[in-house]
Amino acid sequence: MFEDFITDRVDVGETELFVRYGGSGTPTLLLHGHPRTHATWHRVAPLLAAHHTVICPDLRGYGRSGKPPTTPDHAPYSKRAMAGDMLVLMRALGHDRFAVAGHDRGSYVAHRLAVDHPQAVTRLAVMDGIPIGEALARTDAKFAAAWWHWFFLGQTDKPAERVINADPDAWYRATAEQMGEEAYEDYLRAIHDPRTVHAMCEDYRAGLGVDRAADDADRAAGRRVTCPTLFLWAAKDDMEDLYGDPLQVWRSWADDVCGHPIDAGHHIAEEAPDELAAALLAFLRAP
């Protein structure tokens, strides 16, 4: 897994990130979702690395990255804090300007990075996620039934950690066949660490509070993504059921949007790596 990639730990100020990077060419940052780690990209990253320098970190709180102390407002696990980590990481690796691609929770970090640091982000690719503020504003019975875990993980009165830590394998039901043996081992190590489970819940708590407030403030101020934006979604997931044409949703947040579905379930990088890599490569080399 990640043959010829460098494995490193990088101090980004508030915490330390575990990261793998390799390849050559223009830099591209890949951000995983919940409950995955950087290893979700292990089938895609080598295909991109033939043309680009590819950087795959564990987000703060996830995998083998640091887990900063929590606060009552959950801001240490905000997408703004995570995006700040990525800016420091990329600069530490010598990249002042770079493309970023994010899946699931990583898509929210990528979006925040593009809005907060437009001078750094050359291209934005997002997969299976619309902005948190938009998703919560549109929440109805259909969304609540399908994505109830947002609200279960996000509440604090009866912490979800106790339920998850009682049987992580029953709660998170990935398989080695789906992920690949080494990626699955990395995932198992993460979900069996109570500190990681707590941090992942904090990610969702931040999502319902400070992250939504940040998106709402952007919309009120007219702040948008100004770089070219690619949105890809899993055809076997529920993006279209929930939002109709998700490209139209993204066009209300970004100036230059293109995209299409990919014939896969939610974890696109694991289920359709060749198609995903081809779509990303075409987007990254577009004029």
Q: Which residues are catalytic?
A: 104, 266
Which residue's structure tokens are 């987007």?
Answer: 283
Pick from 50, 6, 27, 38: which is nearest to 274 by CA? 50
124 alpha carbon, distance to own chain's centre: 12
| C-alpha span between 78 and 130 (Å, rounded) | 16
SS3 2: coil
Phi, psi for 92 (deg, rounded to 5): -65, -30
Residue with token string 């680009």: 52
Distance, in Å, from the CA atom of 204 to the CA atom of 244, rounded to the nearest integer, reads 24
